[in-house]
Amino acid sequence: MLRHLRSLEDFTKEELGAFIERALELKKERQAGVKHQRLAGKTIGLIFEKPSTRTRVSFESAMYGLGGEVIFLSGRDTQLARSEPLKDMARVMARYVDGLVVRTFGQNVVEELARYSSVPVINALTDLHHPCQILSDVMTVIEKRGPIENLKIAWVGDGNNVANSWIQAAEFFGFELTLACPEGYDPDPEILQKGRSNAAKPIVLVRSPEQAVAEADVINVDVWTSMGQEGEEDARLAAFDGFQINDALLACAPADTIVLHCLPAHRGEEITEEVLESARCVAFDQAENKMHMHKAILEKLIGD
């Protein structure tokens, strides 16, 4: 059956849990030197309209690690840059590849490609969501701190794509989520409202970073200026004053709180060098887990 991963909502709670289980298993298998050929003979196309280090390389490495092949296309090198309709792009690409991994601006691009594609479309980040990131982040939290439904997770900073996907994760995985965002930088209101109505535990929006981290087992941070918002950088630097993850803020959190950053990090802005390089920050394990998670996603969507 054709399945897409446009946002976490494309899967059930059980299926999302299965991605985590499988990614943890694949990680152990890789450490033990187990080789896979499950996707031998399959090819995925990566269409990226924004830059990427981790997501691109971890998807490519995941696909090769499963015996498959990858074709990478930057947005500007395709006819999309010359306004070829998405519905044509989707139908043409689906004749050549077994899955499409897409990083773009509007969520509508991913939705439209999925509508017309006869192969799975995977969202590798839009302005609205970053679902694959959050699956590997949840995996990292479980690895470090155990069952996630018992934990309190904080988000400090911009109510951006990554924050929106964390809200959806709270809905499915059942943890308590407190987001501290400055006024004017809240998460998507529809996602927040839906998350709140469906979640078993509270999803709280506050203005004070100190309040958000006070009882947090996990603190999440991301850049203040996302890709595509470069023109807003000065206004954002001013708006996020006081939202930096630094030793003073961590002093307000429990002693065993861990810090997640999906990277890339801007040291001296949303996080200090000291915190990023400290033992509390698990950003590099988090980055590694993207590859294991992408294998689990590709196996299910392309292999099944």
- Could you count the other beta carbons within 10 Å of the beta carbon of residue 211? 14
**In the complex, what is the shortest distance from the CB of residue 219 to ligand CP, in angstroms, rounded to a whole number?**
17
Residues contacting residue 206 through CB under 8 Å, at least 6 positions apart: 178, 179, 180, 212
| 101 vs 262, beta carbon nearer ligand CP | 262
d(CA 276, CA 281): 6
- If contact means CB under 5 to 8 A according to the sort of partner, which of ligand NVA, ligand CP, none does residue 135 touch? none
126 scored as a contact of ligand CP (CB under 6 A): no
**In the complex, what is the shortest distance from the CB of residue 228 to ligand NVA, in angstroms, rounded to a whole number?**
7
Return the exposure string of 94-117: e unless at least 16 CB atoms fall within 10 Å of the residue's CB, then b.
Answer: beebbbbbbbbbebebbbbbbebb
d(CA 263, CA 244): 15
Q: Which of 22, 39, 55, 93 binds ligand CP (CB under 6 A)?
A: 55
Are 261 and 275 in contact by the 8 Å Cβ rule? The answer is: no
**In the complex, what is the shortest distance from the CB of residue 125 to ligand NVA, in angstroms, rounded to a whole number?**
6
Lookup result for tokens 């990226």: 48
**In the complex, what is the shortest distance from the CB of residue 280 to ligand NVA, in angstroms, rounded to a whole number?**
21
53 scored as a contact of ligand CP (CB under 6 A): yes
| 127 vs 217, beta carbon nearer ligand NVA | 127
12 scored as a contact of ligand CP (CB under 6 A): no
Phi, psi of 177 (to 5 degrees): -130, 125
| 117 vs 225, beta carbon nearer ligand NVA | 225
Give the residue nearest to ligand NVA (CB): 226
**In the complex, what is the shortest distance from the CB of residue 64 to ligand CP, in angstroms, rounded to a whole number?**
17
**DSSP one-letter string for 288-302:** HHHHHHHHHHHIIII
* Residue ranges that bind ligand NVA, judged by CB under 6 A: 125, 160-162, 222-223, 226-227, 262
**In the complex, what is the shortest distance from the CB of residue 104 to ligand CP, in angstroms, rounded to a whole number?**
13
Characterize the bridge pairing of strands 99-103 and 121-123. Answer: parallel
- If contact means CB under 5 to 8 A according to the sort of partner, which of ligand NVA, ligand CP, none does residue 223 touch? ligand NVA
| 4 vs 261, beta carbon nearer ligand NVA | 261
**In the complex, what is the shortest distance from the CB of residue 117 to ligand CP, in angstroms, rounded to a whole number?**
22
Which positions from 248 through 267 interact with ligand CP, judged by CB under 6 A? 262-264
- If contact means CB under 5 to 8 A according to the sort of partner, which of ligand CP, ligand NVA, none does residue 53 touch? ligand CP
Give CA separation, 271 vs 34, 268, 276, in Å: 37, 6, 7
133 scored as a contact of ligand CP (CB under 6 A): yes
Q: Which of 4, 6, 27, 54 binds ligand CP (CB under 6 A)?
A: 54
- With helix as H, strand as E and coil as C, how does 10-26 read? HCCHHHHHHHHHHHHHH
| 257 vs 289, beta carbon nearer ligand CP | 289
Phi, psi of 38 (to 5 degrees): -60, -30
Return the structure tokens found at 164. Answer: 């929106």
Q: Where are the alpha helices (DSSP H) in the chain?
A: 13-31, 54-65, 86-96, 107-116, 131-145, 161-173, 189-198, 209-213, 233-239, 247-250, 273-276, 283-298
| Chain residues that interact with ligand CP, rule: CB under 6 A | 52-55, 125, 133, 262-264
